[in-house]
Amino acid sequence: MKSRPKNRGLMYERRSDDNQGASFKQQYDWAKAESKVLGVPFRGTYEDVEEMVRKRLHHKADIYLDNAISGGDLTRPGFRKFLRDAIADPTVSHVYVFKRDRLGRPQTLLEMVGLEYELIASGVQLVTHDKIYTPEELKQNEFPYLIGSMVEYQEHGRFSPRLGDRIVFVQQSMAERGLSTGGRAPYGHGRALVGPDDTFVQWLEDGENIRRAGHHVRFLPRDEIKIGVWCMILEWRATGDSCKRIAARLNEMGIPSPDAGRIRRDHGSAHRVPGKWHPNTVRDLCSNPIIAGIKEYGRRSEGRYRRVGVGGPRELEEHDLRPDGQPKLLENPEDVRVRAASGGQAKFDPERWHALQPKKRSIDEVRRKLGQKANNPERYPLSTRVIDLTDGCGSVMHGIPAADKLKYACGRYYNSGYTECNHNWVEATAVTTMLIDALVELVNKAGGREAIRDRLLAKARAEADHDVEPDEPAALVQLRRRLAELEDNVATAERRMATEKNETRYEAIAKTFDSLVAEKAAVAREMAELATPKPATKTSLSPEEQVDALMTTIDDLAALAKDESANQRIRDLVLRLGIFVGLEFEEGRWGKRPVRRLRRGVIAFGEDNLPVPIHGRSRADCPAQDAAGDGGSNHTHSAPACCRAPSADPGSSVGEGAGNDRTDESNSGLEQTRQGTNVGATGFEPATS
């Protein structure tokens, strides 16, 4: 075990938060200075670092980078490629990492120590700001090195949980005084900066922060018109109106919903929020006690390391985590929440407000009882993958129960308070069966099992001696594009603010700038949270064994849809192949009753192959679609996908009923006619996917 001859170096940088503006510059400047002292250069400039951030790259020249990714994630793409290249390339003699905590803040201590040990043992010197770790030292003092590394990485790994403890303690302390613990102000309220004596200082806009000793933020009533609407909603509830009825009345009156005008980011793309009321919006307002002068904290838990508990922070338990280990958003029981006087005037009588609160189970209990969990792969294997294409809608169709069946229904229709798009829905089992049938047909048209196996085997043998970079999820690609646009827009706004002399125009530009910065931070956070496929690594399996493992999925395709316990396997297959199912609906008749029925559909491999983008006409980066134009009901699908057009003939069964004047048939399945299939040379992959 000895050091490689001095030759060249690699540099690795990481930051957890996109708002750490100077972090990459500091790490780069240190590494460049250190490389000159040691006489071991590395290729790359800080302009390369900026380009990598802008284009979401993880590697350029001799620089490796992970931006806005937690150090606890040891599958970071830049980190993994950095390790592979440093170990495999004999010309690399030094690697520059500013601090060990840039390599990781691991919760899995032994894995992190093992990765670093393998790096140094390969002959590479690890250079940090306070020490150089060499193979010779590792060989001579292996036991002290291991103990010291475990202690140091254990300390780094404790940082995030300790920070979580502090955050929960501080937030609970502020909540007990009725102060804001973060977030947007409720409907009709504003963020008010108050002094040490609790006197009003000034209003703060969303995203605006002012740090001043002894000063805090309260949510206080600001818009009397909106407060009046809120009180009117409570009065209607007191007379027995349902939340659904109240939402319909508000939409009929043309009153904008609380989120009207906002831009949200779901499923990897930004879209405009419909300014319509939804029953859940009404329900949330009716359950928020701030209208009665009471500030509530801890209604929901979403922390990654610590969550609010009775009397302080608590560690995450098994029920806080999804099967993949990621934290879930949960509703807390009443005894965990903190309620205190908000500091503002009660706009609705507290006793009457309490009387309106139903004796109810938590949201999670209700969903478990009714099966209303749209992202539950055990019930809805195509959740978030079925898209309503009607008239350029582009909405994700959510999984919901319908009597003794399950269905996917248009999210735009529900989220807009039943005022946009239509009540388009399709039976979940029918769509899943149709998809599996289509995939079986693809296999047959590609030449059958053996033809596909031969092509996969040839590809596996050709790649056996090469590392393959993992493909990025389509959503991550879209986020990366959006972040680049935002960075350009922020730079433009900065330049205009620097030269603008008119005060009114300056304030308008500054407000736009703040909005852009806030959206940029939100995009960066979503990118960090997006699941990244693990990098491909060399395996001990032979190409033949690898291909046979892949072929198991093809062998099981025909049986998947008939096996209720196979939904999770179907879900995994859909995600792995990047499948989306687009459905287009039209007006039909069930006897004399007008209904919605399925007109045609498309199976696309990759989101970009959908004829209508997700969120359709509501996308922030797309022009509105009209009924007669692109994305409309007369749109010709040209995406390279497997098109299956369910029949509109009597007897086909979708929507609220199908069949023309046929009242003796039920919604039992999907009958479809078969159209052309465009399949690429490798069998499953479309030519341009």
Do 44 and 185 fall into the same domain? no
Question: Would you say 171 and 177 are in contact if contact means Cβ atoms under 8 Å apart?
Answer: no
- Are 145 and 40 in a shared domain? yes
Rounded to the nearest 5 degrees, what angle is found at the Cα of 475, between the Cα atoms of 182 and 406? 90
Task: Round to whole Å and give the CA distance between 656 and 672.
Answer: 17
559: in domain = no
Are residues 185 and 148 both part of a single domain?
Answer: no
- DSSP assignment of 509-578 equals HHHHHHHHHHHHHHHHHHHHHS--PPPP---SS-HHHHHHHHHHHHHHHHHHTT-GGGHHHHHHHHHHHT
Looking at 162, 191, 212, the residue that finishes a domain is 162
**Residue 142 placed within a domain:** yes
Examine the domain organization and report whether 433 and 580 are in the same domain: yes
Q: Examine the domain organization and report whether 200 and 255 are in the same domain.
A: yes
Indicate whether 326 belongs to any domain. no
Place of tokens 């009117």: 232
Give the total number of structural domains in the chain.
4
539 falls within a domain: no
pLDDT given at position 433:
82
Question: Does residue 272 sit within a domain?
Answer: yes
Answer whether 274's CB lies under 8 Å from 619's CB. no
CATH of residue 117's domain is 3.40.50.1390
pTM: 0.52
**Residue 207 and residue 190: Cα distance in Å, rounded?**
12
Q: For residue 171, is it within any domain?
A: no
* pLDDT value, residue 666: 33
The angle formed by the CA atoms of residues 28, 29 and 35, to the nearest 5 degrees, is 85
Domain identity same for 123 and 28: yes
Residue 250's CATH number: 3.90.1750.20
What pLDDT is stored for residue 352 in this prediction? Answer: 93
Residue 311 lies in a domain: no
Q: Are residues 152 and 192 in the same domain?
A: no
Same domain, 629 and 670: yes
Q: In whole angstroms, what is the distance from residue 264 CA to residue 273 CA? A: 7
- Tell whether 188 and 63 lie within a shared domain: no
Same domain, 63 and 115: yes
Asked if residue 130 and residue 157 are part of one domain, the reply reads yes
Residues of the chain with pLDDT under 70: 17-22, 107-108, 153-165, 265-270, 304-305, 322-326, 359-378, 463-478, 529-541, 543, 546-547, 549-566, 620-689
Tell me, yes or no, whether 514 lies in a domain: yes
Structural domain of 23: 8-162
User: Same structural domain for residues 275 and 347?
Assistant: yes
Q: How far apart are the first and last CA of the chain?
A: 46
